[in-house]
Chains A and B, each alone.
Chain A
Amino acid sequence: MAPMLKSTFAAMIGVALALALSGCQQKKEAENPGRILRYGNQIEPQDLDPHIITGIPEYHIVSGLLEGLVNPDPVDLHPLPGMAEAWDISADRCTYTFHLRPAALWSSGDTVTAADFVFSIRRILSPRLGAEYAYMLYCVKNGRRFNKGELTDFSQVGVRAPDARTLVITLTQPTPYFLALLSHHSWFPVHPKTILKFGPLDARGTAWTRPENFVGNGPFTLAKWELNKIIEIRKNPRYWDAAAVRLQAVRFYPIENMQTEERAFRTGQLDLTTNVPLEKIDWYKQHDPQLLKIDPYLGTYYYLFNVNKPPLNDKRVRRALALAVDRESLVKYVLKGGQAPAICFTPPNTAGYTSAATIGFDTLEARRLLAEAGYNAQHPLPAISLLYNTLQTHHEVAQALQQMWRTYLGVSVTLVNQEWKVYLASTQERSYDIARMGWIGDYNDPNTFLDMWITGGGNNRTGWSNRAYDSLIAAAAAASSQQERYRCFSRAETILLDEMPVLPIYFYTNGYLMQPQVKGWYPNILNLHPYKFMWIEKK
């Protein structure tokens, strides 16, 4: 036993020393290997199938691998030719004819044809695939009916390919933001041969997205996918515009913990992060302001009122609570990330639209409304609870509002936090009084913020229903000019802010860290940054 133990001890010490030494000799990853973007990408993606994915980290990767009919301009997001080199719009604005690029190839060498797009649209609309973003194609004639299984004949859906290079899409009604929708991943094409090699058209979760199988048409190809460790996409030499692509590769690191991500950035292991920890914002502002980026983001942070539950079924109570929120102080002293106070629901200047109505900070009016509703010091508002999912930011915002309501209105609110999925269940079942929510626009148009509050809308978890509002949203969809459309939206938003089923709090910003040598990255409200326009500048 003794000699054995001794030699084991010696071996252990030897191994430990060797390990320590090899660690010291190992070149650290602080230096950029050149023309490679190293990106902190939050989480391990669900999948890389454009018709299955729902999250932003997934979009970061897939947008490098696949290309839709149009590409968003990196600066102002206007549609640039992508797979389609040109398009014609019919006089009634319901038929779009796309002319595909003859030089467009799949990474396998096959030509990208109009039939591939028809196949892809059929795939995402197939009920069996269970695509959560299929609704992004509901503007296509009969798209909704086919997806809901009410129609089984796909030839009746408004998409056809008269020849290999021509794709004709017919819409139910004019959709002014249609071209903007096309850069969403739900509209990306998939390679039919590859899909069918691993299963039927509407099979979910097949092996086609594994790196050894993936075929794409974007500026990059999938080179490496190691679980919870790294995904690497490398420049695709067959891409139609390969000459313009300056990055050699993009490496995505799924770093969930913001502090870990920030440390990796600080030592130069990352060129770009997805987040910046709240407590680090001040430090960067003071010490390294050129590394900290805070961009406006097309999203609203708000609270839901359960309008069927007393006392919140009284609009005067809802308005009183909304008027007693000092949004300026909240963004300045609590959030500190450059957020803007939300005095309306749709972020101002969304595709040129700004709400005419606003909700301000007016404690006098708030107290008056509350008194009018019959609540005062002798007869205080019954206890109400405020629900949010467990996260530091939500907790701090909730505490601030709880304090404001107590100070300005004498209203006491209990805070309730729940784990993410429990909280989702509670809001869906409407078992809450007030609940925290956030909405990031799917596309740059006020419609994505306003059509969700129609009666019975899937995301309308307030129970609020207003006929005038519903008909204004319908009128906006049928409007013949943009001015008329925006007039309808503005009238609708006036109703929304008057009835106050939702309490807008602040407009999101997107805060992250970026090394100065990353170039070709422009701040924009949808946070879309096509890699084909980016490069790494040598120091």
Chain B
Amino acid sequence: MLKFVLKRLFFETIPSLFVIATLTFFLIRLAPGGPFSAEKNVAPEIIAQLKAHYGLDKPLAAQYGNYLLNALRGDLGPSFRYVNSSVTGLIRQGFAVSLELGLWSLLIALLCGITLGVLAALNHNRAADWVAMIIATTGICIPTFVLGPLLVLVFALNLGLVNVSGWNNAGDRILPSLTLGLAYCAYIARLTRGGMLDILSQDFIRTAHAKGVHPFMVIVRHALKGGLLSTISFLGPAIAGLITGSFIVETIFNIPGLGRLFVTAAFNRDYTLIMGTVLFYAFLIIVFNTAVDILQALLNPKMRVTIG
């Protein structure tokens, strides 16, 4: 296992991050318009001062080298847009919020998704299956920018149960978590259904039933373990996607998360903040994908050989 993790780290994680850093670094500099262009003209001397201040007057290769060296030391530089903030500080603040939102959404997604998926599989080709799958398909089809305002209209504007936006009290967590969670719930439901259908037709399930095990225990103890394998491999990128924040949901509900920072950084050509958020996002995806591989090995003996 240790060998697997080390191999992953040195042959996949580090080279991937390096490639991503390099591509992002040069691509953002190719985009027209720089961080200091503005509607009102800025005098060339001032632009020159600003470039010197942020080291943008040096040759590109030197800028790139400096950036990588500093990044290795954990210093992602100052933000160009948010003048008195460091990129690390901004990511820390934004991530704390996105992480919380992501975890609540994940909870909702898992809870609804697995329940719907199992129900559908158990009632294969019967009404309950169709209902569950219609719900799931609708969930996939309705984008968050439609679902979010709809939920706001019903629960905040009409019923007045919660605030329309903000991130201050517990109630403010409900609608955004639902909006973000329901989209993922739909995928999980479909994956769980597929996995469960596959497992439920296996011999060992029949054996369990024949031995007189309570049907509920057959599902929970025997079937779910194998039936959730495909769901688990989906969870890696899903968790990374959920906790790094969604620009749309954060914008609709005015949540101070990482997603908004990331997208506005691109609009502002805030080079350091773009680099920082991209690397952070990439790092999380890689970590979660590795974690999923390990988890799958634990759940599925067949996989252990390849990992071993």
Contacts and interface: CB of A to CB of B under 8 A. Distances in A.
The reply to whether chain A is a binding partner of chain B is: yes
Interface of A: 1-2, 5-6, 9, 12-13, 15-16, 19-20, 22-24, 26, 28-30, 43-44, 46-47, 49, 52, 54, 127-132, 134-135, 147-149, 204-210, 226-229, 253-257, 259-260, 263-264, 266-267, 269, 419-426, 428, 438, 457-459, 461
B90 A227 contact: yes
Residue of B43, B93, B251 most packed against chain A (CB within 10 A)? B43
B170 A425 contact: no
Contacts of A208: 84
B204 interface: no
B18 to A, nearest CB: 27
B168 A134 contact: no
B37 to A, nearest CB: 5
B251 A256 contact: yes
B94 A26 contact: no
Given A205-B84, A426-B32, A267 B160 contact: yes
Contact of B164 (A52, A267, A438): A267
A420 B170 contact: no
B33 A19 contact: no
Interface string B103-136: 0100110110000000000000000000000000
Contact of B165 (A49, A209, A255): A255
B46 interface: yes
Nearest to B49: A130
Contact of B111 (A12, A206, A438): A12
B141 interface: no
Given A209-B84, A269-B164, A424-B38, A5 B224 contact: yes
A458 B163 contact: no
Given A47-B84, A130-B46, A260-B252, A22 B171 contact: yes
A308 to B, nearest CB: 18
Contacts of A457: 41
B167 interface: yes
B50 A44 contact: no
A276 to B, nearest CB: 16
Interface of B: 31-34, 37-43, 45-46, 49-50, 53, 78, 81-85, 90, 93-94, 104, 107-108, 110-111, 149, 152, 156-157, 160-174, 217, 220-221, 224-225, 251-254, 256-257, 260-261, 264, 267-269
Nearest to B268: A421
Given A19-B173, A28-B171, A228 B107 contact: no
Contacts of B90: 227
Contacts of A267: 156-157, 160, 163-164
A255 B250 CA distance: 10
A423 B269 CA distance: 13
A228 B83 contact: no
Contact of B39 (A9, A127, A424): A424
A127 B152 contact: no
A5 B220 contact: yes
Contacts of B221: 1-2
Contact of B157 (A6, A227, A263, A421): A263
A301 to B, nearest CB: 13
24 contacts: A2-B217, A2-B221, A19-B174, A23-B161, A23-B162, A23-B169, A24-B162, A26-B170, A43-B264, A130-B49, A132-B40, A208-B84, A210-B84, A226-B93, A256-B254, A260-B165, A263-B152, A263-B157, A266-B157, A267-B160, A421-B32, A421-B269, A458-B41, A459-B41
B188 to A, nearest CB: 13
Nearest to B33: A421
Contacts of B173: 19, 23
Residue of A26, A47, A253, A254 most packed against chain B (CB within 10 A)? A26
A149 B48 CA distance: 12
A317 B207 CA distance: 88
Contact of A421 (B41, B45, B220, B267): B267
A211 to B, nearest CB: 11
Nearest to B110: A12
A29 B166 contact: yes
Given A49-B84, A422-B31, A257 B93 contact: no
A28 B78 CA distance: 37
A20 B174 contact: yes
B166 A269 contact: yes
Residue of A6, A257, A438, A457 most packed against chain B (CB within 10 A)? A257
Given A1-B225, A16-B108, A46-B82, A259 B149 contact: yes
Contact of B256 (A52, A228, A425): A228
B40 A28 contact: no
A149 B217 CA distance: 81
Given A206-B84, A228-B94, A253 B254 contact: yes
Contacts of A52: 83
A15 B43 contact: no
A28 B162 contact: yes
Nearest to A24: B161
Nearest to A257: B251
